[in-house]
Amino acid sequence: MKTKLFFSAAIAVLLLTCQTMQAQLKYGIHAAGNLETQAKLGQLWNNSDLYQGFLIGGFLDYKVGNTISLQTELNYQKKGGKYTSTSEGSESIVRREFNYVTVPILLKGNFHDKGLGDNWDLTLFTGPYIGFLTSAHSNIKTGGNRTSIDIQNQADKNDWGIIFGGGVSYKLANGGAIIGELRYQMGLNEVDKLNTDLRNKGMGLTLGYRF
């Protein structure tokens, strides 16, 4: 009898825990258009032309308090840099393309502003990320000629750094939400074995949907 009562109580606690976690755990998808560059450590940016990158992926958001949540993501992200070089009187445009699978872990503060309306929330977040290189190319355009060189062997296999940002979310009647965020991503790890001064830096606008 005691054994049956114990197992019944254990099952009830497990079901209650699952229901609580389901209420606290949200998931979603997002995509971003980014402006990317590669700069020295300590520089937020540099004076080179900006490279147009992107991000696409999904996220899990776990609420740990009234205003605090933890969000982890799995993204495919294109980073890189762009600059102009001159050699023997010929001008070339060089686009360095670095593709990564990135995993950020973000600490988020979620705030409700009554002035914006009942369905709007504000968010501030920061946290580390790590990226795993999938490919790297240097695309060179000289006049009408284009050349692509695989530079994966000279690129570091990992990228890591810190993300800062903020955004807004709008709650829908079905329980979901539309999310907009502005992010700055500051790379701290060298990305090029031949030029160890370079780090990935990027800023972008992220749009997503939370289920």
In the chain, % helix, strand, coil (3-state, to 5) comes to 15, 65, 20
Contacts of residue 31, defined as CB under 8 A and 6 or more positions apart, other chains included, come to: 54, 55, 56, 57, 206, 207, 208
Which residue ranges form the domains of the chain, and what is each CATH number? Answer: 26-210 (2.40.160.20)
Partnered with residue 118 across adjacent β-strands are none
The candidate with the shortest Cα–Cα distance to 31, out of 178, 201, 187, is 178
What's the CA gap between 155 and 133, in Å, rounded?
8
pLDDT computed for residue 91 by the predictor = 82
pLDDT tens-digit series, residues 37-94: 998 876 766 656 788 999 999 999 999 888 999 999 999 999 998 888 777 667 888 8
Query: pTM for this structure?
Result: 0.83
Backbone torsions φ then ψ of 3, nearest 5 degrees: -65, -45
Three-class SS of residue 20? helix
pLDDT computed for residue 23 by the predictor = 56
Series of mean pLDDT values for 10-residue runs along the chain (211 residues): 46 42 81 92 69 96 91 97 78 91 97 82 97 95 87 95 96 94 95 91 96 93
What's the CA gap between 52 and 172, in Å, rounded?
31
Backbone torsions φ then ψ of 106, nearest 5 degrees: -115, 135
> Do 151 and 135 form a contact (C-beta atoms < 8 A)?
no
pLDDT computed for residue 1 by the predictor = 53
Q: Tokens 């799995």 sit at which residue?
A: 74
Here the tokens at position 16 are: 């209650």
